[in-house]
Amino acid sequence: MTVLVVIAKECLPGRVKTRLHPPLSLEQAALLAAASLDDTLIAAATLPATRHVLAFDGDLPPAAATGWEILPQVSGGLDVRLAAIFDSFDEPTVLIGMDTPQVTAELLAPVFDTAVDTDAWLGLAVDGGFWALAMNKPDGSLILGVPMSQDDTGAHQLARLTDAGLRVSHLSPLVDVDTIDDAHFVASEAPNGRFAATLATILAAAPISAPLDPFLAQKGSRR
């Protein structure tokens, strides 16, 4: 039995993806965040988890989460909220965020391979954070106190797991969407998703300069 959790906020203007404003409006940023969450939920729904859970901060879950269990997030910093999620379950638990809409079932498939002898999985983000974390024996204390939203958050989380004696396997690193350049890059990586379509619609309505080629090269070389 494996629990798959997506952690997300309700995609309201001013609450999500505020670093996209400017050049996007807060309303456009919220639309893009909603598309990112939809793509994530759609990919996650195809995985062979015994429970699909949306750890949600908000009042109205998205339609793409129909049929999912809804777990309200506790208050507090991100480490507190992540720790509480893992402490909510006894079975192996996989948690992913809503900021990597290019995620696919294939990228997460190794976590569900019972032939792999490991205690935990970590998917690092290119900016230094992490986009996925899984533990066979979920333990929130292994997250609580890890400094979040820093360029060394992933390194701190990895150290916390290995210092506890866990064998950690790694998922492919991904770019998460924080800035408009990230959005351009991720849309190019997953051109057929709702995220890419939503960004294209926004750009068609009010064109925004594309990211510089050196940025794309740098992002691609670090994946």
Residues 112, 91: contact at Cβ < 8 Å? no
Segment 142-176, tens digit of pLDDT? 999 999 999 999 999 999 999 999 999 999 999 99
Segment 184-201, tens digit of pLDDT? 999 999 999 999 999 999
User: Is the peptide bond prior to 22 cis by the omega test (within 30 degrees of 0)?
Assistant: yes
Residues 156, 82: contact at Cβ < 8 Å? no
DSSP 2-57: -EEEEEEE---TTTS-GGGTTTS-HHHHHHHHHHHHHHHHHHHHTS--SEEEEEEE
Q: Which phi and psi angles does 5 have, rounded to 5°? A: -115, 130
Q: Which of 166, 172, 173, 135 is nearest to 3 (CA)?
A: 135
Residues 44, 134: contact at Cβ < 8 Å? no
pLDDT at 212: 37
State pTM to two decimals: 0.91
What is the rounded distance in angstroms from the CA atom of residue 59 to the CA atom of residue 45? 21
Q: Domain 3-221 has what CATH class?
A: alpha beta
Segment 24-56, tens digit of pLDDT? 999 999 999 999 999 999 999 999 999 999 999
Q: What is the mean pLDDT of the chain?
A: 93
Question: Any residues with CB less than 8 A from the CB of 152 and at least 6 apart, and which?
Answer: 128
Q: Which phi and psi angles does 220 have, rounded to 5°? A: -65, -35
For residue 178, is pLDDT > 70? yes
- Break the chain into its structural domains and give their ranges: 3-221
Label residue 220 by pLDDT band (50, 70, 90).
very low
| Sheet with 51-57: strands ordered across | 69-72, 51-57, 3-9, 93-96, 130-135, 120-125, 168-174
Segment 49-92, tens digit of pLDDT? 999 999 999 999 999 999 999 999 999 999 999 999 999 999 99
What is the rounded distance in angstroms from the CA atom of residue 115 to the CA atom of residue 160? 25
Segment 109-152, tens digit of pLDDT? 999 999 999 999 999 999 999 999 999 999 999 999 999 999 99
